[in-house]
Structure 1
């Protein structure tokens, strides 16, 4: 027989300030390569869309 559903409420988390700062520094440094990867993926998708549909070439050459 499964146990009944029990609710848990967390009221306080005690994290030292230094550990919290270190965590945010690590998260910031990890976000930099992640942003490059996301930008590369979006640029590749944009390149594919331009290749397939010809976006950006509808106005002809502008001199």
Structure 2
């Protein structure tokens, strides 16, 4: 499977926060990684996210 976004670099340019899913059942098992820099992704990655029949919440 293609990588959806680059792995976090654990550098001062990223912040990690504990949280939950944004849609029901809203499990509180998510680590949100926020990048302080723009992350570019390929058109193929965008198409994968939009057209995938895989439940991306549980990858």
Question: Taking structure 1 as the reference length, what is the TM-score of the superposition?
Answer: 0.26
Query: Which structure carries more relative contact order (alpha carbon 8 Å, separation 6+)?
Result: 2
Task: Find the structure with the greater CA-based Rg.
Answer: 1
Decide which structure has greater strand share. Answer: 2
Decide which structure has greater helix share. Answer: 1
Question: Taking structure 2 as the reference length, what is the TM-score of the superposition?
Answer: 0.28
